[in-house]
């Protein structure tokens, strides 16, 4: 059993063998991975030590104090949060060894090819086809809302391999090389003016069978691991007080008394209290996870986060008065990082509109809470026994 003392010792050994000040950033990250200190709950040989996840904080604190470089997790969030846990759970030994190390060090950025123009909330209805051709699969279709596609080397991809069975059964999960011929990435401009996301067109892309993840036809189950981790990573971040969208508004309120009105004051206080309660709810969820008793609160955190971001940023536009009628910059850009609280009030207001759509709409999440947490009757599933090819679309 690896305990915090041993982890601290190992971390100090790593720092002694590779002093951060005198070591190339990438070399340090690779050495950290090889020492099992990347994600300590992963198995030995794959960046971890099979230790409890909660002990990662011990390693991180030691490394931060020593000024060691990190792997810039915000830039590789999809790889860390979604691809890695799925590869770990369903990947072959060869796949795990090939992909996890450069994924963690950030040498290879990952993106997610799931949503399609015709398959949003009803993701299982997706129509991108993968057809077997000797030792490979030939993929054709269109994906959408792909963040980081323009920076990504690899993608997690789900595609339809059997149209003759009901929709959940005919899907297979692949690891797709974004540099392959036939992969075309086009920016998708959104209401903020920038293009954080992309459309990805797949035309006769050949994926070797060795890059299939999980069994043929089992892709929906594999994808559940990815999606559960997505919602955790969206809603489960630990925040200090005023750490989210409320922070910039509270700051403006304090610094600019001339903007204050009684109406705005009442609304600000209500939202401040709700933001603090949401933070505490997230903290309680985190404590449950650490104690090994995950609660159902996770399903709800993203709902609260989306609504609060929208209401708070909407209030902020009103708070700044005439400045709220201006916008910092409409020019089309392709950012590699997403920062919901970055830029100015107008941007935050517009970007927050996506929070109740991306990663599961609030309406679908309310259904999930009602059915899985409260046990209320499920929505009618008229398509569950019909072959995918016979569904109306």
Partner 1 sequence: MTTQPDLLYSEEEDALRAAVRDLLTDHCDPAAVLARIASDTPHDRSLWRTLAQSMGLAGLLVPESFGGQGATHREAAVVLEELGRSVAPVPYLTSAVVATEALLACGGEEAAGLLAQLASGQTVATLAVGPAARPGGAHPVVRHEQGALHGELTAVADAAVADVLLVPARDGGLYAVNTEVVTVTPKVSLDLTRPLAALTFSGAPGRRLTDDAGPAVQRALRTGAGLLASEQLGLADRCLTETVRYLKERRQFNRPVGGFQALKHRLAGLWLEIAGLRAAARNAADTLATGSEDTDLAVAVAQAYAAPVAVRAAEEALQLHGGIGMTWEHPVHLYLKRAKADSIAYGTAGGHRAAVAELADLRAP
State the catalytic residues.
Answer: 230
Report the nearest approach of partner 1 to the CB of residue 53 (Å).
17
Q: Which residues of 72-88 are buried (b: 16+ CB within 10 A; e: fewer)?
A: eeeebbbbbbbbbbbbb
What is the phi/psi pair of residue 341, to 5°?
-100, 10
Binding-residue pattern over the window 355 to 374 for partner 1, x denoting contact by CB under 8 A: --------x--xx-xxx-xx
What is the C-alpha to C-alpha distance for residues 349 and 347, in angstroms, rounded to an integer? 5
Cβ proximity to partner 1: between 325 and 374 the closer is 374
Interaction with partner 1 in 223-252: which residues (CB under 8 A)? 250
As beta bridge partners, residue 330 has: none
Task: Please report, in angstroms and rounded to a whole number, the separation of the first and last CA atoms in the chain.
Answer: 54
CA distances (Å), 120 to each of 349, 360, 364, 380, 385, in order?
23, 9, 11, 18, 20
CB 273 within 8 A of CB 281: no
CA distances (Å), 366 to each of 120, 228, 370, 376, in order?
16, 15, 6, 11
Report the nearest approach of partner 1 to the CB of residue 250 (Å).
6
Cβ proximity to partner 1: between 190 and 361 the closer is 361
Binding segment for partner 1 (CB under 8 A), chosen from 17-25, 125-133, 211-219, 255-263, is 255-263
- DSSP per position, 259-284: G--HHHHHHHHHHHHHHHHHHHHHHH
Report the nearest approach of partner 1 to the CB of residue 343 (Å).
23
135 binds partner 1 (CB under 8 A): no
377 binds partner 1 (CB under 8 A): yes
91 binds partner 1 (CB under 8 A): no
Report the nearest approach of partner 1 to the CB of residue 37 (Å).
24
Query: Collapsing DSSP states into helix, strand and coil, what is residue 87?
Result: helix
Interaction with partner 1 in 261-320: which residues (CB under 8 A)? 261-262, 265-266, 268-270, 272-274, 276-278, 280-281, 283-284, 287-288, 291, 297, 300, 303-304
Q: Give me the residues that bind partner 1 (CB under 8 A), please.
A: 250, 253-254, 257, 260-262, 265-266, 268-270, 272-274, 276-278, 280-281, 283-284, 287-288, 291, 297, 300, 303-304, 363, 366-367, 369-371, 373-379
């Amino acid at each position: 059993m690896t305990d915090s003392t041993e982890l601290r010792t190992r971390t100090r050994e790593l720092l002694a063998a590779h002093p951060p000040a005198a070591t190339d950033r990438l070399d340090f990250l690779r050495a950290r991975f090889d020492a099992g200190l990347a994600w300590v709950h992963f198995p030995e040989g794959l960046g971890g030590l099979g230790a409890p996840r909660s002990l990662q904080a011990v390693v991180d604190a030691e490394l931060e104090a020593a000024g060691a470089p990190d792997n810039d997790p915000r830039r590789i969030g999809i790889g860390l949060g979604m691809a890695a846990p799925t590869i770990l759970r369903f990947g072959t030994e060869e796949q795990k060894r090939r992909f996890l190390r450069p994924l963690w060090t950030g040498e290879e950025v990952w993106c997610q090819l799931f949503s399609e123009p015709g398959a949003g909330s009803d993701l299982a209805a997706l129509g991108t086809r993968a057809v077997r051709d000797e030792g490979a699969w030939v993929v054709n279709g269109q994906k959408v809302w792909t963040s980081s596609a323009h920076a990504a080397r690899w993608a997690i991809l789900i595609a339809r391999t059997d149209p003759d069975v009901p929709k959940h059964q005919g899907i297979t999960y692949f690891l797709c090389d974004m540099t392959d011929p036939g992969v075309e990435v086009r920016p998708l401009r959104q209401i903020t003016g920038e293009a954080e996301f992309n459309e990805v067109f797949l035309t006769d892309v050949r994926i070797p069978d060795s890059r299939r993840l999980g069994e043929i036809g089992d892709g929906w189950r594999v994808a559940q691991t990815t999606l559960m981790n997505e919602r955790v990573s969206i809603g489960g971040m630990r925040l200090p007080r005023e750490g989210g969208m409320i922070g910039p508004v509270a700051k403006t309120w304090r610094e600019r008394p001339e903007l204050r009105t009684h109406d705005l004051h009442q609304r600000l206080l209500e939202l401040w209290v709700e933001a603090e309660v949401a933070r505490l709810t997230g903290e309680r969820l985190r404590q449950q996870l650490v104690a090994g008793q995950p609660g159902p609160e996770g399903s709800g955190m993203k709902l609260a986060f989306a609504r609060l971001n929208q209401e708070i940023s909407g209030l902020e536009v009103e708070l700044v008065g005439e400045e709220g009628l201006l916008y910092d910059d409409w020019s089309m850009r392709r950012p590699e990082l997403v920062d919901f609280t970055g830029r100015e009030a107008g941007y935050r207001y517009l970007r927050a509109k996506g929070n109740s759509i991306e990663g599961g709409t609030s309406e679908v999440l309310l259904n999930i809470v009602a059915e899985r947490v409260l046990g209320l009757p499920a929505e009618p599933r008229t398509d569950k026994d019909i072959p995918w090819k016979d569904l109306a679309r």
